[in-house]
Structure 1
Amino acid sequence: MAAQGTNPSGASAFFSGQTLMVATVYFLPVLVPALFGWMNMVLAVPAFYVLRVFGTRGGTTLLRNGLLLAALIALLLNQMGVFLFSLTMLPLGYSLDRSAALGEGPARAGARGAITLAATWIIFWTIYGLAAGMNPYSHLLQLLDTGFTQTFEAYKSNADLPADVLLDLDRVITELKLLIPRILPGVLACMVLMTVWMNMVAGNTLLMHRNPEKAPWSGYSGWQLPDQVVWLPIVALVLTLVGQGRIRDAGICLLLVAGLVYFFQGLAVFIHLLERWRVPRYLRLIFYFLLVIQSYGLIMLAVLGISDVWIDFRRKGRDDQAGKD
């Protein structure tokens, strides 16, 4: 069972402050998608937070009331499609709350959440495709192909570009058109993992700051993958190097997924080291910015994450904590 906190006075009332807050969070991406569209990817956070703070029953009532108000606004704005997609994040919020109630660690909770979100999105887009009479996956590939073609045509119409530059650009775009269908499953899987990761980190951080007794996990710097996951990049690398055709494509997709999950671990190790060395906050922000803008920064963090399996950079911190206890 999730934490069954006692509902504050008026929490279940339809027009309570909490209900209006939930409604606001869910209708902002519908009201101003150009400005708040990014919120669609973190809408499991309010659900997770509400369920942890008010308990499963009280949280569900609060979410129901808030979502009904948001749905009414979406209906009036003729934006029900956008609103319905935002609802696909709700199962992830419930999944994270369930994992927290069971005492699961971040890795297991993330795996459960990824399966939940992937299944939810597959169901949503399958129903959407049946209703629209098209295949969403094929439509996405067609949109990407058209986008590449339009990009090349835009550059081609620029008379200032030399012929050799246009030739190189044409070759790159042609190669991308051939590559994208091969790696798109891996890219979509990475999108699922990235979405789950963002919601877990944001939700747990919010709870640690506002309701620390409800936070299910420690700070992000202590999150760690099971050692057995190291077989994922090993298998992916073998399939990529020795496989042919679809097997090699599967290896590339697995390699993308492995690189991302070990980027998560590498980032946790990096944050832990900055905390251990007591690096000032403004310098940390500079380091984070440099990692983002450098093309090799993400790769370095992924390598750091894999190295942590054998070196265990955070062992000293755990030993120090054990000594204090």
Structure 2
Amino acid sequence: MTILNLSFFQNSFLRLLLTITLFLAASLLPFAGLVFLLFLPLVLYVLCFLADPGKTLIAFLASLCVVTILLWALNASASAPALAAAGFAGMLMFWTVQKRFSVEGVVLLPSLLLVGAIALYFIYGGMQLSITPWQLVEKRIQEAVELNIRLYSQFPLNAEEIQEITNSKPQMISLFTMIFPALCVIAAVFTIWINLLAAGRLLKGRGILPAPLSALSEWSAPAWLVWIFIAAGGMSAVPMAPVRFSGVNLFLVASFIYFLQGLAIVSFFFQHRNISPFFRFLAYFLIAIQQMLMIAIAAVGLFNLWVDFRKYLRKDRTTD
């Protein structure tokens, strides 16, 4: 996108056509569509900077109407709310940045919009099926677990391993149902965070650097979060189901926030040591696929409350 001429984005028709194409890709492509959907906030966010925000909003609404009609004709209109939520999240990202919200505000408000959209989906879907929203959550998780078991059964595994996976189905359904609220919050926050990082690189190439996001590598979680982290850990050990449910979900969300802080510290290290993009990508890739590295990064984020790793990195840089 950085190599496109600015006049392309100033043409309302072409911008509208681009948005419609992205919506169609997000709606209709079987596999790549999910990627387009996840990065729709980025598209709307960047377009608001490169073109007039008001015209971008009109183009977005027009695109949404056209795509909704097409999806309705294909009996797939259930996808339209997801497109609307992702698009409006991108517009909200731009608005919060323009209003000079803090990093927390820029991430939190669009994330709440996405979480709200997920909640409305299960509320409305439950009403359609005459079941409670939580029963619909269990139903969708059961379908997802069963689908994954069928996929695993096609792998070259021995019969005992496949049987073990099949026997663990009730436990997996119970586990993912219990942590579903935390998974929704984590997915929403991570989506907005990744979109902001990716958009930052695109905008930086055009000399646009929004003030609230100029130093994401310096970001730190609020100090009071540690008390929620500790309390949630204690609640997770309480045998009462409602208390344990709340504790587990709060603990996971707090841990994820510390993971983001750990990533910010890693990014700070890369910037101060001028690590090449290749090795940065390799490091982030290993973090993404290695569970122990994720835990280690989250631990770095947590202990930064007492150690302040960035201060020592600055000292090392000065010494060098």
TM-score if structure 1 supplies the norm length?
A: 0.80
TM-fit CA distance, 1:266: 0.7
Question: Compared with structure 1, are the counterparts of its residues 153 and 88 closer, same or farther at alpha carbon in structure 2 (3 Å cutoff)?
Answer: closer
CA distance in 2, matches of 1:64, 1:120: 17
Of residues 212, 230, 250, the one that matches 1:234 is 230
CA distance in 2, matches of 1:125, 1:168: 31
Segment drifting more, 258-267 vs 308-317: 308-317
Matched with 2:62 is 65
Matched with 1:93 is 90
The amino acid across from 2:45 in the alignment is: F
TM-fit CA distance, 1:169: 4.3
CA distance in 2, matches of 1:159, 1:268: 39
CA distance in 2, matches of 1:59, 1:159: 51
Matched with 1:247 is 243
CA distance in 2, matches of 1:185, 1:197: 18
Question: Compared with structure 1, are the counterparts of its residues 202 and 31 closer, same or farther at alpha carbon in structure 2 (3 Å cutoff)?
Answer: same
Match status 1:187 vs 2:183: yes
TM-fit CA distance, 1:270: 0.8
CA distance in 2, matches of 1:124, 1:147: 17
How many residue pairs end up in the alignment?
310
Say whether the 8 Å CA contact 2:260–2:301 is kept in structure 1. yes
CA distance in 1, matches of 2:9, 2:306: 52
- Structure 1 residue ranges without an equivalent (≥5): 1-6
Match status 1:217 vs 2:213: yes
CA distance in 2, matches of 1:239, 1:319: 39
Say whether the 8 Å CA contact 1:222–1:272 is kept in structure 2. yes
SS state of the match for residue 210, structure 1? coil
Alpha-carbon displacement from aligned partner over 1:176-217 (angstroms, at most 9, x marks no partner): 343333222222222222222223323333322335155651
Matched with 1:30 is 27
TM-fit CA distance, 1:298: 0.9
Of residues 286, 296, 310, the one that matches 1:314 is 310
Matched with 1:3 is none
CA distance in 2, matches of 1:264, 1:226: 12
Say whether the 8 Å CA contact 1:19–1:63 is kept in structure 2. yes
Matched with 1:145 is 142
SS state of the match for residue 212, structure 1? coil
- Structure 2 residue ranges without an equivalent (≥5): 1-5
Matches within 5 A, 1:75-154: 75-145=72-142, 148=145, 151=149
TM-fit CA distance, 1:274: 1.8
SS state of the match for residue 104, structure 1? coil
TM-fit CA distance, 1:296: 0.5
Report % sequence identity.
Answer: 19
Segment drifting more, 236-245 vs 130-139: 130-139
TM-fit CA distance, 1:320: 11
Segment drifting more, 101-110 vs 122-131: 122-131
Segment drifting more, 71-80 vs 199-208: 71-80
Say whether the 8 Å CA contact 2:9–2:47 is kept in structure 1. no
Segment drifting more, 248-257 vs 200-209: 200-209
RMSD of aligned Cα (Å): 3.4
Matched with 1:176 is 172
CA distance in 1, matches of 2:24, 2:215: 30
The amino acid across from 2:106 in the alignment is: A
Question: Compared with structure 1, are the counterparts of its residues 319 and 79 closer, same or farther at alpha carbon in structure 2 (3 Å cutoff)?
Answer: farther
Segment drifting more, 282-291 vs 52-61: 52-61
Question: Compared with structure 1, are the counterparts of its residues 89 and 75 closer, same or farther at alpha carbon in structure 2 (3 Å cutoff)?
Answer: same
Say whether the 8 Å CA contact 1:12–1:62 is kept in structure 2. no
SS state of the match for residue 291, structure 2? coil
CA distance in 1, matches of 2:41, 2:157: 48
- Moved >6 Å (runs of 4+): 7-10, 317-321
